Amino acid sequence: MKIVILDGYVENPGDLSWDDLAALGELTVYDRTSLTDEQEIIDRIGDAEIVFTNKTPISRHVIDACPNLKFISMLATGYNVVDYASAREKGIPLSNVPTYGTASVSQFAIALLLEVCHHVAHHDRAVHEGRWETSADWCFWDYPLIELAGKTMGIIGFGRIGQQTGRIAKALGMKILAHDSRPNDTGREIGEYVDLDTLLRESDVVALHCPLFPETKGIINRDTLAKMKPTAILLNNSRGPLVVEQDLADALNEGTIYAAAVDVVDTEPIRGDNPLLTAKNCLITPHISWAPKESRQRIMDCSIENVKAFLAGSPIHVVNE
């Protein structure tokens, strides 16, 4: 079968190998494909039976224009870029990679938090710029330094990643509150399930680890921010649209909350007019929580298994059954 990868560069900029996937069919890899030019997407899929995408949208029109298409697989967990209902109508299974990023994304959430608490990169630059050398004192700091032991982290979305973030935070001496539509015993071993208002009111740190659904879009907004402590820190390395960005920028500038650290924004790459770029105490990184080599290798391995299972007649990790 013909296999096409529409946007393979971010998954594999050269430090991994497509060879095991190429052994399963006639493989064509495009580093990038237009996100807006549907004709380019259609032309690149062509008569391929198997297509991989990460962020390149596959709409109903694209699916209709590619009648040979039999299987779509994500190079990611999220699948909102594919019209999965249309694929289901055509009998095309859509598979994702469900669990590759648990370790890396939870680790990065804590990295964001520690950077807000200590501003390590800023103080490193200050030392290299000569400020310690010329300091009148034997040490200095430009931001409040925050100790996490004894403080409370509230995690919205307490699945695999949320729970792993909770375990790490608990190891730092933090109390864990969780809000999730599906409480479970594993979660109860880590923290206490509470309603959203309680979590917002009592947490010193609020971490977002929920998927993007209609009911979670904009879950952090002017009203929910107003329920948080003025000393609170918000973390988001889940999905950008979970946050109403202008509301968050206003809250930071007005002192409604203390700080935010985000690895995702509503439109990516970030636009120059994004209000978070000029907000006070807002740390932004370019959607890299998922990207350690080990994590990307798991995507590669799962993607190969997805194709093998489809070719064997028993697709796995199907999200549009």
pLDDT of residue 89: 97
pLDDT of residue 15: 98
pLDDT tens readout for residues 65-99: 999 999 999 999 989 899 999 999 999 999 999 98
CB atoms within 10 A of CB 173: 11
Give how far Cα 234 sits from Cα of 9, 118, 281, 284, Å: 31, 15, 11, 12
Q: What is the widest separation between alpha-carbon atoms in the chain?
A: 73
pLDDT tens readout for residues 184-195: 999 999 999 999
Strand order across the beta sheet in which 2-5 lies: 26-29, 2-5, 50-53, 71-74, 94-95
Averaged pLDDT for residues 6-25: 98
- Are residue 121 and residue 228 in the same domain, yes or no? yes
Contact 67, 87 (CB under 8 A): no
CB atoms within 10 A of CB 167: 14
Look at residue 321 and tell me if it is in a domain: no
- Are residue 95 and residue 185 in the same domain, yes or no? no
Separation CA 92–CA 135 (nearest Å): 65
- Are residue 114 and residue 242 in the same domain, yes or no? yes
Contact 95, 310 (CB under 8 A): yes
- Are residue 56 and residue 130 in the same domain, yes or no? no
What are the tokens at 118? 């200590």
- Are residue 189 and residue 228 in the same domain, yes or no? yes
pLDDT-derived band at 183, boundaries 50, 70, 90 = very high
pLDDT tens readout for residues 136-178: 999 999 999 999 999 999 999 999 999 999 999 999 999 999 9
Asked whether residue 201 carries a pLDDT value surpassing 90, the answer given is yes
Q: At what angle do helices 102-118 and 160-171 cross, to 10 degrees?
A: 40
CB atoms within 10 A of CB 131: 13
Active-site hit among 129, 189, 254, 268: 268
CA nearest to 228, candidates 263, 255, 262, 210: 255
Contact 220, 244 (CB under 8 A): yes
Separation CA 196–CA 202 (nearest Å): 10
- Are residue 109 and residue 70 in the same domain, yes or no? no
- Domain with residue 119: its CATH number is 3.40.50.720
Look at residue 320 and tell me if it is in a domain: no
Look at residue 274 and tell me if it is in a domain: yes
Look at residue 84 and tell me if it is in a domain: yes
Look at residue 317 and tell me if it is in a domain: no
- Are residue 136 and residue 47 in the same domain, yes or no? no
pLDDT tens readout for residues 108-132: 999 999 999 999 999 999 999 999 9
- Are residue 107 and residue 158 in the same domain, yes or no? yes
Look at residue 226 and tell me if it is in a domain: yes
Asked whether residue 283 carries a pLDDT value surpassing 90, the answer given is yes
Separation CA 39–CA 44 (nearest Å): 8
pLDDT of residue 233: 99
Active-site hit among 192, 202, 287, 305: 287
pLDDT tens readout for residues 18-76: 999 999 999 999 999 999 999 999 999 999 999 999 999 999 999 999 999 999 999 99
Look at residue 202 and tell me if it is in a domain: yes
Query: Average model confidence (pLDDT) for the chain?
Result: 97
Domain with 192, as residue range(s), is: 102-284
pTM of structure: 0.93
Which H or E element spans position 259? strand 259-262
Q: What percent of the chain has pLDDT over 90?
A: 98
Active site includes 239? yes
The residue behind tokens 């919205």 is 156
Separation CA 51–CA 8 (nearest Å): 11
- Are residue 157 and residue 11 in the same domain, yes or no? no
- Are residue 244 and residue 263 in the same domain, yes or no? yes
Active-site hit among 209, 239, 298, 317: 239
pLDDT of residue 78: 87
How many domains, the chain? 2
- Are residue 144 and residue 44 in the same domain, yes or no? no
Averaged pLDDT for residues 242-250: 98
Position with higher pLDDT, 212 vs 54 = 54
Active site includes 287? yes
- Are residue 279 and residue 154 in the same domain, yes or no? yes
Look at residue 280 and tell me if it is in a domain: yes
